Amino acid sequence: MKNPYLPIPMMVKKAFMETTDRMLRTLELTFQKEEDQKAFEFIPGQFCELSSFGKGEAPFGIASSPTENGSLKFTINRAGMVTTTLHHIEEGEEVGIRGPLGNGYPIDLFKGHNLLVVGGGFAFTTLRSLIAYFLEPEHRSLIREITVLYGARMPGLLLYKEELQEWSKRDDMKVVVTVDVGDQGWKGTVGLVPNVLKEVAPSSEDTYAVVCGPPIMIRFTLPQLKALQFPDERIYTSLERRMKCGVGKCGRCNIGHLYVCKDGPVFSLEQLNILPKEG
C-alpha cells in the first residue's frame, strides 16, 4: 500500500524572487530519485504539499507544465510559518513534497475548443502550467484560439514577466496583461481584470473560460463572463482551502460533500452552483 503521507525529497535547483514586494518567490525543484521522477505524472491544475521539516506542510499549485520535464516549479506567497521557511531555503537544499494531488484542469474537455484564461495576482501559477502545456508544439493543435488576460495590482507584482513578454510576441495566442495602477515604465493596459475582460474577451461560442484570482476578482469576473454568455458548465476555477492531508481524510477543506483537495481544486461553475455557499 502506497503511503500518501510520506514526502519524497526534492532539491532546490533554482530559487528567485518574482515580485518587487518580495512576497512571491519561485522554487524550481528537481527530483532526487529516478523512481520518484518516473512515478510523478501530473496534469496542469494539480498541486503538491511542500514540507519544511519542523514547520509543517502547505499546499501549492504546480506552476510548471508536465511538458517541462525533470523539474517542478512552485511560486510561494510568504504568509505563514511554512512559506516563510520556503522563502529562506537556499539553492542546493532539500524540501519534501507530496503529490500530485487534486483533479487538475479538464484538459480533454478543452480539446478542440477555444480557451480563455483569466488570472489575477499570484493565483496565476497553475494557469501558467495550463498555458505552457498547450503552447508546447505538439499540444498547440489540441486547442484552437488561446486568449490570456492576466492582471496584478502593480507592474512589479506580475509573475513570470519574461514569459509574458515572450507569449505576447507569439502570433498563435492573444495575451493581455493589465495592472490596476501603472508606473512610469508601464506601457501596457491599465484597468481591473473584470473591466478589461469586457473589451478583450473572445466570443463565448465554443470557448472554455478558466478563471483564477483573488476572491474579489472572481466575484466581479463571473458576472462579466455571464454577460458575455459563457454558460456555467464552460467556466472553470480553482479553489483554495485550508488543507492538511490533501487526500480527503482529515476533513476541513470540504464544500458540501466534496473535498477541495481530492474532488477539486478545479470545479466548474455549474458544479459550484449546487454546493453550499461557504466561501
Partner 1 sequence: MTLKLDKKDFHSFLQNLMNDYELFAPVQVAEGVAVYKKIEHPLEAARFSLNPQKPAKEVFFPQSETMFRYGKVGVKTEVTSTEKVERKRILLGARPCDLQAVSLLDEIFQGREYSDPYYINKRQATTVIGMGCSQPLSTCFCSSMEGGPFSRNHSDIFLIDLGEAYLVEVLTEKGKAFEKNPFFKKATQKDLKAAKSIEKNASNQVGAILSLEGIERKLDQMIESPFWDRVQERCIGCRVCTYLCPTCHCFDIADETLTTKGQRVRNWDSCLSSLYSQETSGHNPRPTNRERTRQRLMHKFNYFPKNVGRIACVGCGRCVLYCPADLDIRETIKEIQKG
CB atoms closer than 10 angstroms to residue 94:
14
Give CA separation, 172 vs 83, 124, 130, 211, in Å.
36, 20, 16, 21
Q: What share of the chain is helix, strand, coil (3-state, %, to 5)?
A: 30, 30, 40
The residue count for binding partner 1 (CB under 8 A) is: 43
- Residue 34 as a binder of partner 1 (CB under 8 A): the answer is no
Segment interacting with partner 1, rule: CB under 8 A, options 78-86, 117-125, 186-194, 224-232 = 78-86
- Residue 223 as a binder of partner 1 (CB under 8 A): the answer is no
Cα–Cα distance for residue pair 186/181, rounded to 1 Å: 9
- Residue 7 as a binder of partner 1 (CB under 8 A): the answer is yes
Cell of 155: 507592474
Among 35, 38, 54, 169, binds partner 1 (CB under 8 A): 54
E strands, 103-195, are 114-120, 146-152, 174-179, 189-190
Write down the least CB distance from residue 262 to partner 1, Å: 6
Of residues 70 and 276, the one with the C-beta less far from partner 1 = 276
Measured in degrees and rounded to the nearest 5, phi and psi for residue 121 equal 60, -140
Among 19, 83, 221, 271, binds partner 1 (CB under 8 A): 83
- Residue 23 as a binder of partner 1 (CB under 8 A): the answer is no
225's enclosing H/E stretch is helix 215-227
Of residues 204 and 254, the one with the C-beta less far from partner 1 = 254
Q: Are 62 and 129 in contact (CB under 8 A)?
A: yes
Among 57, 126, 222, 230, binds partner 1 (CB under 8 A): 57
What is the binding site for partner 1 (CB under 8 A)?
1-7, 9, 53-58, 79-80, 83, 92-94, 96, 215, 240-242, 244-245, 247-257, 262, 276-279
